[in-house]
Amino acid sequence: MRSLRSIARPVSIVAISFALLWGLAAVAETSPTLNKKELKTLLATAKTPSDHQKIAAYYHDKAKRLNAKAQEFSAQADVLAAQPATVESKQGISGLSASHFRYFARLYMEEAKDSEALAAQHDQLAQNASSATGEQK
């Protein structure tokens, strides 16, 4: 029975890691509304409401992808936290520990909040630009 446990734990960790990587690949397949070069150009030259709306859409999409990654890392941390600490207790923080996945889940959530803030700024700029052009007509 002990030998079955010693085999089952690494196999389950590998299976969970593959599932996580597969989920991240699925999130990566959804392309952003702009590529980085287009974003950089738009950030430098944006004047019209549609330019700011495109930038806001980019940041909303980025925040959505980062939130999905954060949820996946959080779920992986929960799975690893439910298992007896083997690697972490012997080696400290490693790539297969709950604290590792929680750290990156927090990091992705913070990046998502920053992206949402940038999106809100550009939504506001688009709204201001559209009201300014509406007043001139």
Confidence of residue 92 (pLDDT cuts 50, 70, 90): low
Measured CA angle at 115 (ends 110, 116), to 5 deg: 95
Structure tokens belonging to residue 50 = 């549609």
Q: Is 58 exposed, middle or buried (0-12, 13-18, 19+ CB in 10 A)?
A: buried
Nearest to 85 by CA among 100, 72, 75, 71: 100
- pLDDT of residue 94 exceeding 80, the answer is no
Domains held by the chain: number: 1
Domain that holds residue 22: 2-136
> Please, are residues 66 and 111 in contact by the beta-carbon 8 Å criterion?
yes
- pLDDT of residue 84 exceeding 50, the answer is yes
Confidence of residue 137 (pLDDT cuts 50, 70, 90): very low
